[in-house]
Amino acid sequence: MATTLDVASTRVLDFTETNTDRLATVIETIAKTEKIMLMSGPGVSIACGLSYLDMDEQIIVQSGDSQYGSSLQNAFDDCSLLNTEAKSVSEDKLAAFNKYMVDLRIRARSAPMSIFHLLLQRTLREKRVMRCLTTSFDGLDQQPDSAIDEKVIRMYGDNRFLRCCMPLCPGIYSAEEAYIDDQLRSKGIVFCPPCTREAQKIKSQRLAAQSAAMRLLRPAVDIHLPTELQRVGDLRSEVMKEAKSCQLLLIVGLPLKSGEVYDLMRELASEVHHSYGAVVYVDNETIRGRNTSGIIDFHLQMDIEDFSSRILVEMDNHREMGHDINADPALELDQSEIWYEVMNNTLEPESSAQESEDTGPLCCLCGLSDPLCLTRCTKCSDYLCIPSIYGPYGKHKSCLVFGGYTGRRPDPLSTKSDKDDFICPWCWKHSEHGLYPHYVRPAPQMNVHMRDGTAPRMAMIIYYLDQFWPHAKHLCSLVKNRWQMYGWPSHVEPAKLEGLTRGQKLFPQCEWEVGTFDIFVIYLTHGLQNPPGYQLYHNKALAPVEFLKETLVPLHDIIGRSQHTHAIMMCCGHPLYSARHVKETQEWINNDGVVDVLLSFFNRKLAPAFMAGMIARMTTSLAGRETRWIRPIIVNTWLTDGVACGHSDSPTRERATASAEYV
């Protein structure tokens, strides 16, 4: 089973040229997804002509002859039915709040249907959307079928319904009682009709008077999650259970300012990610004030109506196309894998920088850099570490012990004298001074550069068909990490064969000097049998020589500046069974002078993953080597690789060689 990869940050996609293909892929995949958990907010209602609800907006409260302003946030908190003190709120503030909300209600009642709401109706009807959790309370998301409408969870309530603070208030639907809205618009204060009728039946005048303040109508809305959607709520547990079966959490027009909504979204995202799904956020505005790394995978920064229309078009196209008879059933992805493919099928160039040289004093054998534990050769200025009370090692682990072969015990005076006149074993002249008197620890086996030498450099291009992106990604990581371990500069750039154009130039940022680096060209494609050749992209294949010429055109400039060019065909070896094509390829290598070495594999069925480790080792083994060492190093690397050697037969072709050498 596939496993998701950690998303370092949210990938923002817009209509810029670099994101066009990626954006189209995400939209197409959304249209194909069969199980979606949807979250929406007030941003989806803007296309219907409704204004964006700003909680900092001021409403005017008329108190007698004076007026004062109150934020919409405070009005919601004071007048909410969830507020235990709501019954004691002043009638002036409640009237101002009711007038504001009735205006929103009347405008929403006559608002046209947006494209997003059409998309919502269709996806709910086709049972693609498991649940729709919305903070909008305008009621525009109401579904014609009451059974389907139950799938819509209005987290902040519903402005179309009015209730009072009486515990058993049944509430009223404002559209059925139009006169209520007219009274609220003019007066702002209206008593709840059903609860008032019940109060009139009470014989006690005192009890009836006490309930008067509680019988004032107000919209059944709030800006906090209800109890059933809190962490211990039954509805929240039910939603989380449904999210486990979803492949997509789609968030549309929902600001993440509320901590409660953000926590709910984060928990839903976690459940969807555990099912190998994705989280997509759609809004024109950037996400501010929230860290969405590892939570939201894609942010589609586009108009919500445009997004909805494109989804509807893709859904129609997908339905009309039906099953593609030309598609390979083995390559069709299951619903549980489609988002894994989209999320991780992004290969970025990898690079490693050259480590800066340590210019301070350090032991030339073990690298110890503590100056209190070092002694310096008077001839070559090399340093070796010696026993010291300040050192991290004991006497037996130091690289040098003064008088180690004389049998005398070192004392401070003799040690100081030895340090002043110290000569390292490489500068010691045995003909003049005799045997070396000091103990020197055997030098460890390590890879070191010669002094004043230049670290090797390498540029690699990985051509791959889209279906081989996991192998290309794996090889990129292996090569980059290996060169980084050595502290050598490298640049690895993947390039999809389906998007290759002759005018395209690769490695635009590579400004290394001529002759100071090697280049590797890796091919992850299909080796074909009838006729022999290599697949360039869907429905097109070329003969070996034509394939190499076509793919090396974008590399013409960098190959001309490189020291050596190595090409490796990580694919099946069917073209190698054609003597004519082998001869033509060898003649092209000899005469064209573009590729120095071409490494292929004889296998009729090759698993590219088995070759990745060997190729990564080969890049560092060939670094900075002369031409005469290339073939022996390739052979030795292949023979000493426990995986590649047992799963492949490898012919190597070099320039100016009459025939291939079969390993």
Q: Which residues line the annotated binding site for Zn(2+)?
A: 164, 169, 192, 195
The answer to whether 574 touches 529, Cβ cutoff 8 Å, is yes
Determine the Cα–Cα distance for residues 48 and 308; give it in Å rounded to an integer.
Answer: 14
DSSP string, 165-204: S-TT---EETTT-HHHHHHHHHTS--B-HHHHHHHHT-S-
Tokens of 426: 């490489």
The answer to whether 554 touches 504, Cβ cutoff 8 Å, is yes
The answer to whether 26 touches 13, Cβ cutoff 8 Å, is yes
DSSP string, 367-422: ----GGGEEE-TTT--EEE---TTSSS-GGGSSEETTTTT-PPP-HHHHHHHHHT-
Tokens of 218: 């107000």
Identity of the residue numbered 115: I
At 68, phi and psi to the nearest 5? Answer: -150, 160
Of residues 549, 546, 541, the one with CA closest to residue 521: 549
Of residues 522, 521, 510, the one with CA closest to residue 457: 510
* Strand-strand pairing, 152-154 and 129-134: parallel
DSSP E strands in 64-217: the ranges are: 66-71, 129-134, 152-154, 157-163, 172-173
Determine the Cα–Cα distance for residues 78 and 84; give it in Å rounded to an integer.
Answer: 9
DSSP state at residue 216: B
Report the Cα–Cα distance between both ends of the chain, in Å, rounded. Answer: 36
List the strands of the sheet with 533-537, edge to edge.
Answer: 527-528, 533-537, 540-542
Give the distance between the most distant pair of CA atoms in the chain: 127
DSSP state at residue 455: P
SS3 567: strand
Determine the Cα–Cα distance for residues 438 and 426; give it in Å rounded to an integer.
Answer: 12
Determine the Cα–Cα distance for residues 414 and 387; give it in Å rounded to an integer.
Answer: 13
Alpha helices, DSSP H only, in 275-357? 304-321, 338-344
Please enumerate, by residue number, every residue annotated as part of a binding site.
164, 169, 192, 195
List the strands of the sheet with 298-300, edge to edge.
Answer: 11-13, 298-300, 278-282, 248-252, 36-40, 129-134, 152-154
The answer to whether 463 touches 506, Cβ cutoff 8 Å, is no
Tokens of 219: 């919209």
Determine the Cα–Cα distance for residues 263 and 275; give it in Å rounded to an integer.
Answer: 19
